[in-house]
Amino acid sequence: MSFPQKYRPPLREDAGVDNLLSRWGLQGYDVRPLTEGTNNTGFYVGDEFVLRIHRNGITPSYEHAVLRALSGLSFAVPVPVPVAGETAVRGELHGRPVLASLSHRIPGEHPARGDAPRAEACGRALAELDHALGRLDETELPQPPVWDGDLTNIHPCVPSIDRVTAILDFETAGRGHRAMDLAVGRFFFGDVGRPSAAFERGYLDVLPLTGAEVFALRELELMREATSFVHWYGRYVEGQTTAEDIAGRVERLRGVEDWARER
């Protein structure tokens, strides 16, 4: 496999944000870049808001409609703040056109990969979300974007071991297999070949799956890892990640494939 040699580091992310915030009538706020997340750029706007710069080229109309439709959850979701009837605005940052949205900041901390003490609470929260998504009326939602079935990029905010305050990232929300969420979540809190039993226990306690769904978990994780690699290789071609990162993802994909074939 050959790789492009030139890696273009991202531009400095702390300039030009004020012009975007003015679209919401916000001025004079302290702006700080988020350190979490990989696909998009985000900024804390004081301690009250979060500004998100959508970098994947997916218009978030479906994502935002889902967020507005969700209700009755035990945790918060980042409902966008509208401006002039729109939930995302087009502007310019670093001389480039961008698409941005704003939401209220939700208190909490991001768990680290392999955070076993918090795994069960996160599994329960994700199952609750999947159950709520399954109850939404699709006729009241816009046409979803084409997506790869990957619902992995959730970032639960967890202030304690037994309670989740928020689930944040809905960028690739759409029709798919609920078991995919369990497959990926138990890997996030575990590792290749050692999925988190606590996350799985928490999820299945809230939303039991069929025997066929449980049997398919390994294949679903392999599918997710393969489509994720294609996505990240595309980002590499665009100069948004490094050859070292891609090499690590190749090794991880190989490990998942070996594990998935073990029955």
Between residues 78 and 158, the one the model is more confident about: 78
What's the mean per-residue pLDDT of the chain?
84
* Banded model confidence at residue 150, pLDDT cuts 50, 70, 90: very low
SS (H, E, C) 35-67: CCCCCCEEEEECCCEEEEEECCCCCCHHHHHHH
DSSP-assigned letter for residue 9: P
- For residue range 57-90, list pLDDT tens digits in order: 668 899 999 999 999 999 999 999 999 889 999 9
Q: Pull the structure tokens for residue 7.
A: 């890696």
Return the CATH architecture of domain 116-260: Alpha-Beta Complex (3.90)
The superfamily in CATH containing domain 17-104 is Phosphorylase Kinase; domain 1 (3.30.200.20)
Q: Is the pLDDT of residue 157 over 60?
A: no
* Percentage of the chain modeled with pLDDT above 70: 85
- For residue range 107-145, list pLDDT tens digits in order: 888 887 777 788 999 999 999 999 999 999 988 988 876
- For residue range 225-246, list pLDDT tens digits in order: 998 999 888 888 888 889 999 9
Q: Is the pLDDT of residue 251 over 70?
A: yes
pTM of the model: 0.78
Query: What pLDDT does 11 receive?
Result: 40
Least Cα distance to 229 among 255, 250, 251 occurs for: 250
Domain boundaries, the chain: 17-104, 116-260
Check the CA dihedral 228-134-162-199 and report its sign.
negative
- Measured between alpha carbons, how far is 213 from 219 in angstroms, rounded to an integer? 10
Query: What pLDDT does 169 receive?
Result: 81
Least Cα distance to 102 among 26, 159, 32, 175 occurs for: 26
